[in-house]
Amino acid sequence: HWPDHVGLRNEHYYALMKLERYDRALEAVEASIRHGGETPDVLRNHAVALAYLNRLGEAKAVMFRCIAKFPNDAGAAETLRELDHLG
């Protein structure tokens, strides 16, 4: 069981991103991290929300941390490459 329904927090993040409520999506993913910890998926979501808020440096730092913590996660490297194309 995930504390404070982390899965629902993640679904909330996806809904907010779809609605282009990036500030609220960032809050949702940060709450998910606080309550459920870091996973590659959650860290990628965190980086994407930061990127949409034009906080690219912070987004890349999140992805560097993700790659360091989860070196076998192929999606992390791909997300970092995508961020590099943004700037």
Q: Write the pLDDT tens digit of every residue in 22-73.
A: 999 999 999 989 888 899 999 999 999 999 999 999 999 999 999 999 999 9
Q: What pLDDT, on the 0 to 100 scale, is given for residue 3?
A: 54
Q: What pLDDT, on the 0 to 100 scale, is given for residue 67?
A: 96
The token pair at 69 is 């913590």
Q: How far apart are CA 53 and CA 69, in angstroms?
A: 24
Residue in this structure with the two tokens 């991103």, named with its chain if needed: 17
The token pair at 25 is 């999506």
Long-range pairs for 12-15: beta carbons < 8 A, 24 or more residues apart: 13/45, 13/49
The token pair at 8 is 């629902």
The distance of Cα 73 from the centroid of its chain, to the nearest Å, equals: 14
Quote the pTM value: 0.89
